[in-house]
Structure 1
Amino acid sequence: MLQSAAESHENNHFDILVAEPIATLSYKDGLGDIELGQQRYQSQQAPFELLADLRQQLFPKQLGQDYPFPFIGGALGLWSYDLGRSLESIPQQLPTDLLCPDMAVGFYDWALIYDHQQQSASLIQWCETEQQGLMQLAQREQWLHQLSSQSAHPFTLTSTWHSNTSKAAYQDKFARVQEYLLSGDCYQINLTQRFEASYSGSEFAAYQKLIAANQAPFSAFMRLPSSCILSLSPERFIRLKQGEIETKPIKGTRPRSQDPSLDQQLAKDLTQAEKDQAENLMIVDLLRNDIGRVATPGSVHVPKLFAVESFPAVHHLVSTIKATLAESYGAEQLLAACFPGGSITGAPKIRAMQIIEELEENRRAAYCGAIGYISANGDMDSNIAIRTLVCEQQKIYCWAGGGVVSDSQVDAEYQELFDKLSRILPILEP
């Protein structure tokens, strides 16, 4: 049975804790596997349609949208990068060497919501009667107290990190990307590599160390039957709140410095970098088009372009796109229209994904997918699963990538991968 726990930060405002789903949906290689009570069945229905139908079946009650909490029960889980194969025609060249499903979603009738601003925790429970609700809340409270008293086994790497791509191999792939860019196949391609190591101990202990070091606003921890997902994402993918859409693509990176004057100069350099702005603008245009498929005509706009946001390891160039969702669409249709996020593919999206399939060594799995929730009232929030690690069978995997354009420099792009991981790989080393 899919058992998951997830934590989501909305601008470091809320944490969401869920467990023991009332139903689960796992999807891989074109087949959905559903567990609902004592039932277990499979479906070949399109994944986002299946997700929408199950959420409506389990939470049919029409609710007002104005709640003080981001999540009031509903669907919460993972949409892997490889789920994009169900939406677009992508060649099947890369090996599937991880067990992580393409989609892993739990449906929850309760949640513990922690409000950082109010310093308060609220336990939410769906119920038929007040008496039933009070009894279920008491059981949840007792379970949470038992959980908090358990101590995690320390996390330890039992090998050094090693990459699936040498620098020479990266340089060769970079050169091939440049050929595609110069021939007009693409304007930008996101090129990544994967690191792995062996480990022992608690994955959650590793997550606690990483979240303390990164303070990433869209972090998440998920425990699945075959995998454990640790996401330290700085990037929002899609938020839907009371019918209003927001996405905040990241493109453009500079490392942080412990010297305050140099750190300030690095951030200023990012605001003036024409290459990074051009790279960011390509993805803004791509996302405007994706959102435009399901938005009210004329509502798509860009209130913030090329803003610098600073994180413990890096400065990022971030833009904000907003729109109003057309009344005939819901959260699942919006997610499908934009999936996977353009900031981690390149532009145009489908051709970039085809080139990624040709050049990279392994499938991305959870990395560059999305983790998030679709609440029972139709609201949604999700991250782009960058700075994200997957643990399976005592192996831990971590990826890094960046958008390559025609005037990119290979050494700078290669170094950027390590800048992005400077608060991840070393943090887990003994």
Structure 2
Amino acid sequence: MTIENPRILLVDSYDSFTHNLAALCRRSIPGCSVHIIKNDELSIESLRPNLRYFSAILVGPGPGSPDNAEDIGIVRDLWKLQDDDLLPIFGVCLGLQSLALESGGTLGRLKVVKHGQISQVQHTSSDIFQGVGEVHAVRYHSLHVTVPTGGSIEELGWVDEEENGHVVMAIKHHRRPFWAVQYHPESVRTEGGGCEVLVNFWSLAQGWSRAAGRRQTPWNPSIAGKVGTLWPYNHPQRTNKLTAPSSKNLLISRSVHLPQLKSTRICEYLGVLEERSKFVLLDSAASPGRFSVIGSLLPTSLQVAYCVGDSCVSLISGNHTTSDELGAHDIWQWLATYMRSKRVANGNPSIPFWGGFVGYLSYELGLPTLEVASIHTKKKAHPDVNLVFVERSIVLDTDTGTLHIQSILPNDESWVDKVVQDLTDLAHSEEQSRKPTAVLSLSPISTVILPDRKRYIAKIDRAKECLFSGDSYELCVTAQTKISIPHHQTKQSTTSTSWDRYLQLKKLNPAPHSAYLRLHPTTLISSSPERFLSYSRPPNSVCQLRPIKGTIRKADGITRAVAEKALAGSPKEVAENLMIVDLIRHDLHGIVGDNVTVSQFCGVEEYETVWQLVSVIEGQADPSAPVDEELGWNVLKASLPPGSMTGAPKKRSVEILQHLEDKEREVYSGVFGYWDVGGGGDWSVTIRSCFKHDDLSTKPSFNSNEEWTIGAGGAITALSDSEAEWDEMILKLSSVLKSFGITPPTSY
């Protein structure tokens, strides 16, 4: 008997690799449907009557321990199913540990944790390993099981290693149709033990079902939603065709070749020196960046501000602020609805930005999507969403020296023509760009509060304990530096010292994803090296994420070969990168479905001042599926906060980090970028950055201060050395501190 249209129930223990396992399942079991439930979503009593609609169960991985009821949920009950309720089950990682524990095995800690490590698995070449050759498997575990001799479970796979001895990698139950593996078959770097093992499991499951006389009951639509969500998910905003843009929404554009004109000079022409005005620049300040986006804002340009937990969004235009109730929608839906009304289709497709929202999204904006409540209740100084709608823009192609002057305002040709003429005259004049202050150094009465070394190292040690206990595979621990500068030290209040600081940062640490965003009450300057997410215009949008984990500074003797050995040849650096790659694949699979690929894994890329270890993950919706015109926007929502700034599994890691870090991160380690009126977008990770709060309701007094915040940190793994992690954090911090004329001590 071959089961047609099989249905698989996937039990998710709040892991960040679950959708990868669902995708592997669909590749391995032809024509299957996958339903996903959380391990605490249903009781065994409510689930048991509906098991007859399923052919098999997959018990996925997750953080925590199988002997903790809150971590394992319903899973422990699945191993006790009897008679007509019994069906084949395949467990992964936490699933294997739970099966072993419920079958008389014992649980212990590895002496050396294996997170993102690849091991060659020895196996019996039988059961789920029938016909399988060499298995090189990715491991994410700090706990392991011991199988009792002569018990109800049998070992099928193992590793023997010097640091941990004999470690069980796969088991089966003698009398019940249960199989499990300790490693992660769904990881992008598992070879030989992924699809091959799932195919064998499915063959064994069908054989058991035939022998037991068990048949999958035909699907009853009335139980849809009662037994988990069908994956890939059917997003309600998907339609059969794109929304047609209004005939009034047209782009006016002219291009002019002015290679001698730089982005900073254009910004000063547009009034960036007026500190109390709004201004936005997304600057490709170094290779491999290409396009710089400069907004020419009007006094009435719409600024959208929102704080997590608020019931309304603030709309700021000139000196007027109004509120719009969100009602049943969230801020993501509100912004998508607004952008739908502004859609433009007549622009040059080779120009990435025609107009649209520019600004930042905070780290904390991603918490509601993860269903994580913030434990910090301090009143917010900075909005979680801070965007301005740009109607007039200048896009500089740094490769060709071509400027694209654009407007989406009706009948705005005269402005476009004037700017073209002004910039042409400026480029051919002898006038030079204003010289910034040499270095805006601080006076003795300024205050610089650096992270406390002992406290930071203690955080790292506590983070590592969470890794050893199985609660996380990787944790990005951060700290904040505060700089307070008396206003009477910073020239006149109408002259932009923040612009001078940006120019210093750009000079000292040029980066492909730099930014100067002055959106009161927040000013953000950044020299970020890391693009987070870019998405092309619909239809057939392609979403690309480029996580960076692994950096080495350029210096004499640091050739490409040396950098590749230090980065791609380092188990620690590769493990950090791999964990985030697998996490990102999960986030992408959750929105686009099956079509996710890793087009580059741990490639060493050359930047202006560093070598970086960069992976590239891409996702695209099935072309035969309904169109999701906000596909990239939905991927952005599902992917925040950036995995490279949290760790994995993301939900548990974020919860742990809230307790390790004593305040909100706010702007730091969120993202900044744009959402274009054509539907494309590009967002970078807010690192190598600093931000300040501007209170424009009052003029600065002699005794008031300008307050800047700088965040810095690093990914902590089981291989991390606490002292080395402190040094790495200080190195990242120093690149921004230098723009203030500060060189932090090497140790204190």
Compute the TM-score of the two structures, normalised by the length of structure 2: 0.53
- How far apart are residue 170 of structure 1 and its match? 1.3
Rounded Cα–Cα distance in structure 2 between residues aligned with 1:5 and 1:299: 35
- The 8 Å contact of residues 508 and 738 in structure 2, kept in 1 or not, is answered as no
Q: Which amino acid aligns with 2:507?
A: A
Secondary structure of 2:709's counterpart equals: strand
Cα distance 1:49–1:2, how it changes in 2: closer, same or farther (>3 A)? farther
- How far apart are residue 65 of structure 1 and its match? 7.3
Rounded Cα–Cα distance in structure 1 between residues aligned with 2:321 and 2:365: 24
Q: Which amino acid aligns with 2:713?
A: G
- How far apart are residue 94 of structure 1 and its match? 3.1
Percent of aligned pairs sharing the same letter:
27
- Is 1:7 the equivalent of 2:304? no
Cα distance 1:386–1:134, how it changes in 2: closer, same or farther (>3 A)? same
Secondary structure of 2:651's counterpart equals: helix
- The 8 Å contact of residues 629 and 679 in structure 2, kept in 1 or not, is answered as no
Question: Which residue does 2:718 correspond to in 1?
Answer: 406
- How far apart are residue 363 of structure 1 and its match? 1.2
- How far apart are residue 141 of structure 1 and its match? 6.2
- The 8 Å contact of residues 109 and 125 in structure 1, kept in 2 or not, is answered as yes
Cα distance 1:102–1:231, how it changes in 2: closer, same or farther (>3 A)? same
Deviations 1:222-277 (A, max 9, x none): 002112100111001111114111110011233x2532257863552112001111
- How far apart are residue 36 of structure 1 and its match? 6.0
1:27 pairs with one of 294, 306, 330: 306
Which blocks of at least 5 consecutive residues in structure 1 are unaligned?
none
- How far apart are residue 313 of structure 1 and its match? 4.9
Q: Which amino acid aligns with 2:339?
A: R
- How far apart are residue 166 of structure 1 and its match? 1.3
Cα distance 1:205–1:103, how it changes in 2: closer, same or farther (>3 A)? same
- How far apart are residue 39 of structure 1 and its match? 7.3
- Is 1:46 the equivalent of 2:330? yes
Question: Which residue does 1:397 correspond to in 2?
Answer: 709
Question: Which residue does 1:79 correspond to in 2?
Answer: 361
Cα distance 1:262–1:11, how it changes in 2: closer, same or farther (>3 A)? closer
Q: Which amino acid aligns with 1:282?
A: M
- How far apart are residue 289 of structure 1 and its match? 0.6
- The 8 Å contact of residues 314 and 321 in structure 2, kept in 1 or not, is answered as no
- The 8 Å contact of residues 213 and 312 in structure 1, kept in 2 or not, is answered as no
Question: Which residue does 2:511 correspond to in 1?
Answer: 216
Summarize the alignment of residues 52-67 of structure 1 with structure 2, pairs less than 5 Å apart: 52-57=336-341, 59-61=342-344, 63=345, 67=349
Secondary structure of 1:258's counterpart equals: coil
Deviations 1:321-345 (A, max 9, x none): 0111452251321211111111111
2:454 pairs with one of 142, 164, 168: 168
Cα distance 1:205–1:370, how it changes in 2: closer, same or farther (>3 A)? same
Rounded Cα–Cα distance in structure 2 between residues aligned with 1:266 and 1:335: 31
Summarize the alignment of residues 8-407 of structure 1 with structure 2, pairs less than 5 Å apart: 8-9=283-284, 11-20=288-297, 22-31=301-310, 32-35=313-316, 40-44=322-326, 45-57=329-341, 59-61=342-344, 63=345, 67-94=349-376, 96=378, 99-128=381-410, 132-138=411-417, 155-158=440-443, 159=446, 161-163=448-450, 165-199=451-485, 200-201=489-490, 202-242=497-537, 243-254=541-552, 256-261=553-558, 265-295=562-592, 297-325=593-621, 327-330=627-630, 331-392=632-693, 394-407=706-719
Rounded Cα–Cα distance in structure 1 between residues aligned with 2:436 and 2:718: 47
Compute the TM-score of the two structures, normalised by the length of structure 1: 0.89
Q: Which amino acid aligns with 1:208?
A: L
Cα distance 1:43–1:149, how it changes in 2: closer, same or farther (>3 A)? farther
Deviates more, 1:202-211 or 1:306-315: 306-315
Cα distance 1:257–1:356, how it changes in 2: closer, same or farther (>3 A)? same
Rounded Cα–Cα distance in structure 2 between residues aligned with 1:416 and 1:222: 27
- How far apart are residue 24 of structure 1 and its match? 1.9
- The 8 Å contact of residues 526 and 689 in structure 2, kept in 1 or not, is answered as yes
Deviations 1:55-113 (A, max 9, x none): 122x144x167622110011111101111233233343336476221011111222111
- The 8 Å contact of residues 55 and 107 in structure 1, kept in 2 or not, is answered as no
Secondary structure of 1:42's counterpart equals: strand
Number of equivalenced pairs = 421
Question: Which residue does 1:421 correspond to in 2?
Answer: 733
Cα distance 1:141–1:95, how it changes in 2: closer, same or farther (>3 A)? farther
- The 8 Å contact of residues 79 and 370 in structure 1, kept in 2 or not, is answered as yes
- How far apart are residue 4 of structure 1 and its match? 3.3
Q: Which amino acid aligns with 2:361?
A: W
Rounded Cα–Cα distance in structure 2 between residues aligned with 1:312 and 1:196: 28
Rounded Cα–Cα distance in structure 1 between residues aligned with 2:526 and 2:591: 28
Cα distance 1:416–1:218, how it changes in 2: closer, same or farther (>3 A)? same
Higher RCO, 1 vs 2 (CA within 8 Å, ≥6 residues apart) = 1
Rounded Cα–Cα distance in structure 1 between residues aligned with 2:729 and 2:321: 45
Deviations 1:169-194 (A, max 9, x none): 11211111111111111111100011
Rounded Cα–Cα distance in structure 2 between residues aligned with 1:304 and 1:263: 17
Secondary structure of 2:416's counterpart equals: helix
Deviates more, 1:406-415 or 1:154-163: 154-163
Rounded Cα–Cα distance in structure 2 between residues aligned with 1:169 and 1:221: 32
Cα distance 1:125–1:66, how it changes in 2: closer, same or farther (>3 A)? closer
Cα distance 1:273–1:373, how it changes in 2: closer, same or farther (>3 A)? same
Rounded Cα–Cα distance in structure 2 between residues aligned with 1:2 and 1:338: 32
- The 8 Å contact of residues 554 and 611 in structure 2, kept in 1 or not, is answered as no
Deviations 1:183-210 (A, max 9, x none): 1111111000111212353101110111
Rounded Cα–Cα distance in structure 2 between residues aligned with 1:311 and 1:13: 13
- How far apart are residue 422 of structure 1 and its match? 3.6
Deviations 1:127-186 (A, max 9, x none): 43xxx22223256569987xx9877777443436432x3111112111111111111111
Secondary structure of 1:157's counterpart equals: coil
Which blocks of at least 5 consecutive residues in structure 2 are unaligned?
1-275, 427-431, 491-496, 694-704, 743-748
Deviates more, 1:325-334 or 1:41-50: 325-334
- The 8 Å contact of residues 91 and 357 in structure 1, kept in 2 or not, is answered as no
Alignment root-mean-square deviation, CA: 2.7
Rounded Cα–Cα distance in structure 1 between residues aligned with 2:579 and 2:386: 30
Rounded Cα–Cα distance in structure 2 between residues aligned with 1:2 and 1:375: 23
- The 8 Å contact of residues 46 and 86 in structure 1, kept in 2 or not, is answered as no
Rounded Cα–Cα distance in structure 1 between residues aligned with 2:417 and 2:706: 36
Of Structure 1 and Structure 2, which has the larger fraction of its residues in helix?
1
- The 8 Å contact of residues 275 and 407 in structure 1, kept in 2 or not, is answered as yes
- The 8 Å contact of residues 303 and 322 in structure 1, kept in 2 or not, is answered as yes
Question: Which residue does 2:701 correspond to in 1?
Answer: none
